[in-house]
A and B are shown apart, each in its own frame.
Chain A
């Protein structure tokens, strides 16, 4: 009896195609990771309902990276020993970076969903892809927004984290050849409460607008303290300011008019496919997905499914080849999904948002 059980269990395991999910299920980004798992479970259930792929069921194996590079390296090893053929994730760039080579050496496809640091795809790794955009695209969109709003004097403020500083430098480089001058360029210390000294100094540089590339807690405080001193300069933020808590911290009055760049929020995804996905998600979990990055994880999963279907195999080399060259997935939840030779997603993803009087994030045309 015992042996029989083992044999059937073994046979079943061989039958499923295992897709790994490496995400921050605990730690500071736990809400992102939990939602990534919810999205993948929903999509996998859909695929299995339709009979699976290559007549095999899909099994999602989730491992927690804790938002921490060291934990992530262990999670990667664990996923590999469990025989996954592809891994979706993860969110933070430094966390992804710690696992890239581990997967690559084991010939496992990795599709990151939130890691936007430019260098990740500059290493020539054959099996690495990402569905999220890169920081340099964000810089271009920021400059484009500044140009369109006809601002001539820009103050650039970052917070010395590698992400925010990188974005600020990107923008500074792009503005060099334009008729827009940077009248102020400096960094604040994140985690403090009082930024009035910085605001006073910026105000004296008389900028037309302020570009802040850091995170939402500081952005909220800046907006609030700016209003306290009756300074009406427009603020533009990078995608790390995209969080409803921004409005809570700043207050609706101070947040109104704040412009930020972001991949489209789940509620603004245009395609029919996306809408039916959002509907299904809402039905299953009782709330719509909050984060675009969990939806991007879903796109990673979908595109891997497409590739397996198209090649008719689970061989990493064949999947990587087809992802690099042939896949043009028009039905992606976040729009068309194609990859370039580096494994980066082709096409522009970032959109411009503005906060309205009610504190809602409104997509700008």
Chain B
């Protein structure tokens, strides 16, 4: 039983990060019906920019770890929001009226471009975050070792997701985003500025992805330019699991995927961990083709 809870906490921390990245996929898909394949690379861009800012400004030395990391996270989110809107302007907006396949190819191209830019700027070797920023001790809770960093990371991703949920559900802009997701033409007829909504989506999604990159850097220490691929794939899976286009779905899907992976590794086989996760995905899609929370997209607002 102890092992079960230990593995559960392992999976929750990983799942929180998957969920943050999955939100970017699902928000873009919601309004544009486009899979933003460059999203995983925006995530690694966040990790690299975070490292650069951290080292060049020495934020955590000047402000202490808590304020330093918070400010760092805000800066990374701001920068990634800029990168995200540029991506939309350059790679997606010119193709808005073209067949959907063109936009997908453009997304793949943007992914390759971002990845190689990172390699060109930072080099192909692994980059490493400083080790002494966050506490590296573990809390002993009823015989389960829970590293404090992991709890902080999980907490941070839950706070971000809650904030996003409130933003989408309670504000006028959030309502506009949901309206565009349901029917773009009707939303436009109701006087919603669709271009502005899309812009906001490309501000928020990449910002969350970027901050997830920063978290991965802080938590695991090691980053490299290809890591966006594997995280992007997992987060994309999480988005589909929860029902792509649905924001609470991405959160549920991400956390669930993390937990399935950890428990699959624990009780079946580590080498088959990914296969187990994808098998569960297939099972869920057979029973519920729209994903776990997929149908709620069509609700009335």
Interface residues of A (CB under 8 A from B): 28, 160, 186-189, 191-194, 196-198, 200-201, 204, 217, 220-221, 224-225, 227-230, 245, 248-249, 251, 253
Chain A to chain B: the 8 pairs with minimum beta-carbon distance, closest first: A197-B265, A187-B271, A251-B131, A196-B10, A193-B220, A197-B262, A228-B147, A229-B145
Which one of B98-106, B120-128, B169-177, B195-203 is at the interface? B120-128
**B13:A245 contact, CB within 8 angstroms:** no
Which residues of the partner chain B approach A245 to less than 8 Å between Cβ atoms?
125-126, 128
**A192:B147 contact, CB within 8 angstroms:** no
**Measured CA separation A221–B128 after assembly (Å):** 11
**B13:A194 contact, CB within 8 angstroms:** yes
- Say if the beta carbon of B257 comes within 8 Å of chain A: no
Which one of B32-40, B68-76, B221-229 is at the interface? B221-229
Q: How many residues on the B side are at the interface (Cβ–Cβ under 8 A)? A: 38
**B230:A192 contact, CB within 8 angstroms:** yes
Q: Which residue of chain A lies nearest to B270 when distances are taken between CB atoms in the complex?
A: A186
Contact pick for A249, options B128, B269, B270, CB 8 Å: B128
**B10:A227 contact, CB within 8 angstroms:** no
**A220:B7 contact, CB within 8 angstroms:** no
Which residues of the partner chain A approach B13 to less than 8 Å between Cβ atoms?
194, 196
Which residues of the partner chain A approach B227 to less than 8 Å between Cβ atoms?
191, 193
**A248:B128 contact, CB within 8 angstroms:** yes
Contact pick for B270, options A201, A204, A224, A251, CB 8 Å: A201
**A194:B14 contact, CB within 8 angstroms:** yes
Which residues of the partner chain B approach A224 to less than 8 Å between Cβ atoms?
220-221
Closest chain-B Cβ to A204's Cβ sits at a distance in Å of: 5
Which residues of the partner chain A approach B149 to less than 8 Å between Cβ atoms?
228
**B269:A186 contact, CB within 8 angstroms:** yes
**Measured CA separation A253–B149 after assembly (Å):** 17
Contact pick for B266, options A200, A221, A227, CB 8 Å: A200
Closest chain-A Cβ to B119's Cβ sits at a distance in Å of: 11
Contact pick for B222, options A160, A221, A227, A228, CB 8 Å: A221
Interface residues of B (CB under 8 A from A): 3, 6-7, 10-11, 13-14, 124-126, 128, 131, 136-138, 145, 147, 149-150, 216, 219-222, 224, 226-227, 230-231, 261-262, 265-266, 269-271, 273-274
Which residues of the partner chain B approach A192 to less than 8 Å between Cβ atoms?
230
Which residues of the partner chain A approach B219 to less than 8 Å between Cβ atoms?
193
Q: Which residue of chain A lies nearest to B222 when distances are taken between CB atoms in the complex?
A: A249
Which residues of the partner chain A approach B262 to less than 8 Å between Cβ atoms?
196-197
Closest chain-B Cβ to A267's Cβ sits at a distance in Å of: 21
Which residues of the partner chain B approach A160 to less than 8 Å between Cβ atoms?
271
* 29 CB-based A-B contacts, threshold 8 Å: A28-B124, A186-B269, A187-B270, A188-B271, A189-B274, A192-B230, A193-B216, A193-B222, A193-B227, A194-B13, A194-B220, A196-B10, A197-B10, A197-B265, A197-B270, A201-B3, A201-B270, A204-B3, A221-B220, A221-B221, A224-B220, A224-B221, A227-B136, A228-B138, A229-B147, A245-B125, A245-B128, A249-B221, A249-B222
